[in-house]
Structure 1
Amino acid sequence: MNFLTLDLNLLRVFDAVMAERSITRAADRLALTQPAVSNALKRFRETVGEDLLTREAHGVRPTPYAERLWPQVRVALARLRDAFEPQEFDPRTASANFRIATADASAATLLPSVIAEIEQSQAQVNLRVLPLTTRDPRGLLERDEVDVAVGYFPEAVAALVAQGDDASLRHRRLHQSEYVCVMRRDHPLAKEPLTLDRFCEAHHLLVSFSGRPHGFVDQALIAAGRSRRIVLTVNQFFTAGRVVAQSDLLTVLPASFVDATGYRSAVVERPLPLRLARIHVEMLWHLRHDDDPAHQWLRSRLVEAAQLLVSGRPAS
């Protein structure tokens, strides 16, 4: 490819199609006709000498080559845009709507601080929290169904780290915690050390976003040649706290969330009698929003909320 003869407008078209995953939506975004976008993509494909997209029922799917190329193109376009049109976001005068995918544990611990900032600064910002039904939110972000995902996503983050700068998603660690066993304050096991035998003999409540009847604890138990009986599976941490506070079931919750359940006076927490990896709460977002000033504002507020959580200071 001869860079000197490259039509830079083709990069704008390529970027829009990659962000929208649809020629129709990209055409609307660029104020072009669909044939014009299709023709530009054809010219770009001929220029780079590689296939870029394959058509699907509801849009287009990038080839591996396009996925590797897009991050570099997007960064270059962002730098050019900032050079000619520096962008700012004033939340007091510019409105914005954001979709955050997160579990109720992260919502309860982080969003009070974010809402306090919105109210105090009179920001024209609206948030919509969507429930997580998976431990891997990459599909939600790729399909632009959410703007930010917050939670514990070990497999997704490991994959992004492996991809490095070629990844179409970005991530940032907000804080870390650990799992603890939670039971009602007058539970028989609250009066004695929680051994592995006692833990396995008890009846349990599992929090599972996907509804699967097993989780991290069960994987660790299987590795140790043990098992437990799960009497109830729910998809919310708040529900788990409510049920455990009024029953003999045990559950496993992030330590950082126990205070946010509102059941602190009714429950106690005990160290788990088996080793689990620490919880790394991450924020994930798509490259398409990486340089957007409004999205940068939101991500900064979430980082600040996590810092307040770690320091133990309440939202002011």
Structure 2
Amino acid sequence: MSFRTLDLNLLRVFDQVMAEQNLTRAAERLAMTQPAVSNALKRLREALGDDLVVRTAFGVKPTPRAEALWPDVRSALARLREAIDPTVFDPETSEASFRLAMADATAATLMPPLVADIEQQRALVNVRVLPLTTRDPRMLLEHGEVDFAIGYFPDAVAALSSQGVNATLHHERLWDDEYVCVMRKGHPLAEGELTLDAFCTAHHLLVSFSGRAHGFVDQALAALNRTRRIVLTVNQFFTAGRVVTHSDLLTVLPRQFVPATGMARELAIQPLPLALQGVHVEVLWHQRHDRDPAHRWMREHVFAAAARRPQTLLASAS
């Protein structure tokens, strides 16, 4: 491959295909036909000597070479856009696409006011909420798999804070919360004081994005030389609410997320009988997007939505 003869427009097509992982949607975003997108990918494959993407039942899947290349391509294109057109982002004419990784309860809390803002401004932007599968989303952001990660990421935030100005990721706190013990109403432990002995003797449900049957509560219990019996591990707060409502399992959730289970009226909340660090919900993004007008626009609306998240949810969680 000779860079001097490479058609740089092919990189724009590659960037959009990687973002959408679907040729039809990428063609729509680029205002091209699908055959034209396929032809552009073919030319780029020939230039790079790699398949770049392979077809699947649901779209296309990037090759390892494509995944390694995409962050640099996306960053370079963003810098070029900013240099050529540094104007203020116009949401009514731009069809920018944003990928937000977050848990189901975070989305239920944040998305209603965010969508209301987008609709009020008649914005043409497209927002996709992706499932969060890790407590440390740094690699997702570094590899350009998502534009924002929103949630409680204590290890990632601590690492970024220690790096200071050398950090390649930025973060901003959206709100604070606390962990509580949640069970069905009428549960034997729903009334009176919940003791540590009773908590450890009971059977538990754990919400774990990674699937590991060990979490913050278990770390805190280990420091006290105590353990608990985890019967079930799930990866959604909504699922946790449904299961706990119809069983004698206990679970530990952020207080403000209880309404997002959809079962708040059927659940009882007890203070935890052990000390846990508070929950700090943060938004993380890569510095390659920091000065991009579209990305700044979305960040501002994420901040505003966090400040305006439904007060009815907060009241019912109190």
TM range (shorter): 0.7 to 0.9
Q: What corresponds to 1:106 in structure 2?
A: 106
Deviations 1:76-116 (A, max 9, x none): x79xx57x853211111211111111111211110111111
Q: What corresponds to 2:60 in structure 1?
A: none
Amino acid at match of 2:269: E
Q: Where in structure 2 are the equivalents of 1:262-301 lying within 5 Å? A: 262-301=262-301
More deviation in 217-226 or 93-102? 93-102
Deviation at 1:276, TM superposition (A): 0.4
Over the aligned positions, Cα root-mean-square deviation in angstroms equals 3.0
SS at match of 1:171: strand
TM-score by length of 1: 0.73
Amino acid at match of 2:170: R
Checking the alignment, whether the CA contact within 8 Å between 2:218 and 2:228 is kept in structure 1 is yes
Deviation at 1:312, TM superposition (A): 2.6
Deviation at 1:121, TM superposition (A): 1.9
Deviations 1:223-276 (A, max 9, x none): 101000001000001100111011100000011111222211100111100000
SS at match of 2:284: strand
Q: What corresponds to 1:243 in structure 2?
A: 243
Q: What corresponds to 1:96 in structure 2?
A: 96
CA distance in 1, matches of 2:282, 2:126: 22
SS at match of 2:308: helix
Amino acid at match of 2:237: F
Q: What corresponds to 2:212 in structure 1?
A: 212
SS at match of 2:189: helix
Q: What corresponds to 1:51 in structure 2?
A: none
Amino acid at match of 2:292: D
Q: What corresponds to 1:126 in structure 2?
A: 126
Amino acid at match of 1:251: T
TM-score by length of 2: 0.73
Amino acid at match of 2:160: L
CA distance in 2, matches of 1:112, 1:242: 22
CA distance in 1, matches of 2:260, 2:282: 19
Q: Which runs of 5+ in 1 are unaligned?
A: 1-15, 21-27, 29-33, 36-55, 63-70
Amino acid at match of 1:298: M
Q: What corresponds to 1:195 in structure 2?
A: 195
CA distance in 1, matches of 2:299, 2:105: 18
Q: Where in structure 2 are the equivalents of 1:215-226 lying within 5 Å? A: 215-226=215-226
CA distance in 2, matches of 1:128, 1:245: 30
Amino acid at match of 2:311: G
Q: What corresponds to 1:312 in structure 2?
A: 311
CA distance in 2, matches of 1:160, 1:167: 6
Aligned length: 254
Q: What corresponds to 1:170 in structure 2?
A: 170
Q: What corresponds to 2:234 in structure 1?
A: 234
Q: What corresponds to 1:5 in structure 2?
A: none
SS at match of 2:98: strand
Q: What corresponds to 2:184 in structure 1?
A: 184
CA distance in 1, matches of 2:312, 2:200: 37
Q: What corresponds to 1:12 in structure 2?
A: none
Amino acid at match of 2:231: V
CA distance in 2, matches of 1:86, 1:61: 23
Amino acid at match of 2:275: R
Deviations 1:281-313 (A, max 9, x none): 01000111111111111111111111113x837
Q: Against the structure 1 CA distance between its residues 61 and 109, is the aligned structure 2 distance closer, same or farther, given a 3 Å change threshold? A: closer
Deviation at 1:57, TM superposition (A): 5.2
SS at match of 1:119: helix
SS at match of 1:190: coil
CA distance in 1, matches of 2:69, 2:103: 30
CA distance in 1, matches of 2:269, 2:125: 37
Q: Where in structure 2 are the equivalents of 1:130-149 lying within 5 Å? A: 130-149=130-149
CA distance in 2, matches of 1:236, 1:61: 30
Q: What corresponds to 2:33 in structure 1?
A: none
Amino acid at match of 1:126: N
Q: Percent identity?
A: 60
Q: Against the structure 1 CA distance between its residues 99 and 57, is the aligned structure 2 distance closer, same or farther, given a 3 Å change threshold? A: closer
**Structure 1 segments of 4+ aligned residues over 6 angstroms from their partners:** none
SS at match of 1:191: coil
Deviations 1:130-154 (A, max 9, x none): 1111110000001100000000011
Amino acid at match of 1:243: V
SS at match of 1:253: strand
Q: Against the structure 1 CA distance between its residues 121 and 313, is the aligned structure 2 distance closer, same or farther, given a 3 Å change threshold? A: farther
